[in-house]
Structure formats: C-alpha cells, structure tokens
Amino acid sequence: MHPFDYYKPKDFDEAFAMLTQPGKKVIPLAGSTDIIPMVRDERWLPDAVVDIKGLPGLRDIKLVDSGPLCCAGQTAQCLYIGAAARMNEIAHSELVQQYASVLAQAAQEVGHEQVRNRATLGGNMGTASPAGDTLSALLVLEADVLVKGKDEERCIPALKFFLGPRKTALQPGEIILGVQVPPLPEGTLGRYLRISRRKGADLAIVGLSVMAIPAEGGYQWRIGLGAVAPTPIRVPEAETILATGHDEATVEKAIQATLAAARPIDDIRATAAYRREMVVQLTRRALQDIIAQIP
C-alpha cells in the first residue's frame, strides 16, 4: 500500500495545522473504511492522514439546545450526532431511533456488521459518494452540518453540503464536527429502503428516504434519493403532490414525479434503466409502508 504518515492531534488547533500542511495532501481519518481501500487502489494518494475521531465531542450522540449556528431558532432540543459516531452506534441508539428513525434505518444498511462497527457518519458524508446510505436520510431530516476550520465553526444545511460525487462544501482544513437534526413533531414517520446486489457488503443501487410529518389537517412529505444523481437529492415535485393526499392515484403521481427527478447512470452495479425501475418500486414500497402506519 502507498505509504503515508499518521497523525493523531490532541486538539482542534493541532488538527487544523496537520490538515493544512503546505504542499501536502492530507486526509482526515475516522473509521478508515473508505480511506484504506481507496489508498490501496491508488485512487487516493495522501501524504498523511489525521485521525480526528478522538477529538472532543466527535463521538457524542445527545440532545442539544438550539445554537447560534446550527439548529437556530428551534424551540425544542435538536439531536446532535458527532461525526465520528459509528454506524452501529447510530443504528442502535434509542435517541436516533426516536428523533431520526430514517437515519437509524439507513445506518443499519451500511456495509455489513464489521464495517458498521468502524464506519462513521462523518466519513460517509465526507466521502460523499452519491450512493452513501445516510446522505438521503440527512436530506429528508433537513439536518444541519456543523463544521470547524481554523478558528471558526459554521453551519451548512445538509441540502447544501453535497456538491457532486465526492465533492462537499467543506473548505480546506475544515472538518465535520457533527450533524444536528431539528426536532420533529410526534407521529413523524420515516422509512429508508435500498436495493443492492446483495443484502450486505455492497453499495446501494438505489437508496430512498421518505418521511411523513404531521401537519395541519394531514402530512407534509419529504422524499430523498441516493445513487441516482451526482449527489443525493430531494424530490420537491413529489412532496408537493403528496401534500394534497395519499390516495392511490396521488401516490402513483408522486411515484412518477420521483422517477422524473432521478438521473441515474449505468455503472458496474446496475444500468440506468434498472435504477429507474427500482426507483418506482422502492418509492411505491416506502410510501405504502408509511401510509399503512398512518393512524
């Protein structure tokens, strides 16, 4: 494997200095499950990695008050998930199951047991693969991403965080501290579904996050898709249709609107045509699942 140096900073100042060494390619490391295969395949050739998972707060899963940056203006507490929280910690967390069920479900679908014991939420986000399971869940949760550079922290809505395949809104030297999920009303329903070639140890061919949020006289819907566009996407057209109701004819219209939003490509995992068909099937299945739970 291509050799690189390893640093473990004791605080954020040291981390920033290590990540911004002039003339060097330095990658932040948390779970290692993306970095090691990418370096071995020589797709990434870092001079160094900076192990950030031990930095304060990065593995917390807790409720936090609204802040000046993320979660601003919220009257109830937000769910904070540190960037280095492992997929299994997220999937098994009662707090995440309660406050962000769709994210707990998505984390449970990542890789397999061994990977979920290492892979982190921040790593999934930083790698920004369009197929990353947790990403469409973050979009429908309208999570905020708290990031930190040299001195300043800033908050980026998840909807503006993913810019392209493996491209995020992070500036050089910035690391993800965690995400904050705004509070949702009681009775909110969420579902993450995915299709992959095999059930474990594979990336999604299509991933789908759906939420139904109780609103005046009905439900407000959110739909997010993964692996069918250069970034995870929301499908506002389908969400608008579902706001009018969820009878069979309306659901079919919403499925067609979701299909229209998908822009899949052919790759080693599936053809674009198969992905389009699976968007239809998954959307129908997820909507029916949620509708069946509506009291």
Partner 1 sequence: MLHEITLNVNGELHIVPVKSHHTLLTVLREQLGITSPKRGCENGECGACTVLYDGKPVNSCMVLAVEAEGHVIETVESLAKNGELHPLQKSFIEHNAVQCGFCTPGMLMSAKGLLAENPHPTEEEIKHALAGNLCRCTGYVRIIDAIKDVADHS
Site size toward partner 1 (CB under 8 A) is 29
User: Of 28-36, 245-253, 266-274, 277-285, which segment contacts partner 1 by CB under 8 A?
Assistant: 28-36
User: Is residue 137 a contact partner of residue 102, using CB atoms and an 8 Å limit?
Assistant: yes
Q: Cα–Cα distance between 33 and 177 in angstroms, integer?
A: 19
Minimal distance, residue 18 CB to partner 1, in Å:
12
User: Of 145-153, 169-177, 196-204, 218-226, which segment contacts partner 1 by CB under 8 A?
Assistant: 196-204
Q: Cα–Cα distance between 60 and 226 in angstroms, integer?
A: 26
Question: Closer CB to partner 1, residue 91 or residue 238?
Answer: 91
Residues 59-88 within binding reach of partner 1 (CB under 8 A)? 88
Note whether 285 binds partner 1 by CB under 8 A: no
- The DSSP bridge pattern shows strands 5-7 and 167-168 to be unpaired
Minimal distance, residue 200 CB to partner 1, in Å:
3
Closest listed residue to residue 102, CA positions, set 74, 139, 57: 139
Note whether 165 binds partner 1 by CB under 8 A: no
Candidates 165, 185, 187, 200: give the one binding partner 1 (CB under 8 A): 200
Minimal distance, residue 104 CB to partner 1, in Å:
15
> Is residue 153 packed enough to be buried (19+ CB in 10 Å), middle (13-18) or exposed (0-12)?
middle
Question: Closer CB to partner 1, residue 64 or residue 115?
Answer: 115
Minimal distance, residue 208 CB to partner 1, in Å:
21
Tell me the sheet residues that pair with 48: 5, 26
Question: Closer CB to partner 1, residue 4 or residue 161?
Answer: 4
Query: Which x/- pattern over 117-136 shows residues binding partner 1 (rule: CB under 8 A)?
Result: xx------------------
Long-range contacts, stretch 251-256, CB < 8 angstroms, 24+ apart: 251/284, 251/287, 251/288, 251/291, 254/221, 254/223, 254/283, 254/287, 255/280, 255/283, 255/284, 255/287
Q: Cα–Cα distance between 196 and 181 in angstroms, integer?
A: 27
